[in-house]
Amino acid sequence: MSKLSHFDASGSPRMVDVSGKQATKRTARAHAFVALHPDVLAQLPANPKGNPLEIARIAGIMAAKKTSELIPLCHPLALSHANVEAMLEPNGVRIVATAATTAETGVEMEALTAVSVAALTIYDMCKAVDKTMVIDGVRLVNKIKK
């Protein structure tokens, strides 16, 4: 088993030094699902707070750009691309986020942060009408380094 990279020899937390790495193009894609009651799904377009899917999409993109402010040991990255898709399905909303940069470290945390915040936004906007919502399946789908 590899050792955890965010701890020094004495066990104290640290930001990983990536200064010796070559900057490369990196992309990552993450997924989340918000299970909603079918009646709530039918009401989404008429939500008085606005379209939850579009608001979640923008919230996820904004979150991707702020990842290093939310996750203490993440490197701040200049994203060259961030996108969030929120798609209605029979049992809920599927969220897929993509993040890209050219840097010395990957963008998987940005993609994961984007889907997490987008899912939380859907939850926030629908909590008044659905007490049974579940956020599930938050995971990294892939990461690519070129």
DSSP 88-125: EETTEEEEEEEEEEEESS--HHHHHHHHHHHHHHHHHH
The lowest-confidence range among 5-19, 38-52, 66-80, 130-144 is 5-19
Hey, what are 15's tokens?
Answer: 């930001």
- Domains annotated for the chain, with CATH where assigned, are 24-145 (3.30.70.640)
For 16-63, how does the pLDDT look when each residue is reduced to its tens digit (9 = 90+)? 667 777 889 999 999 999 999 998 988 887 777 678 899 999 999 999
Catalytic center residues: 124
Q: pTM of the entire structure?
A: 0.89
State the Cα–Cα distance between residues 47 and 62, nearest whole angstrom: 22
3-state secondary structure of 16: coil
Q: What is the dihedral of CA 111, 89, 126, 117, to 10 degrees?
A: 0
Hey, what are 28's tokens?
Answer: 């990552």
3-state secondary structure of 126: helix
* 40 C-beta neighbours (distance < 10 Å), count: 17
For 72-116, how does the pLDDT look when each residue is reduced to its tens digit (9 = 90+)? 888 999 999 999 999 999 999 999 999 999 998 889 999 999 999
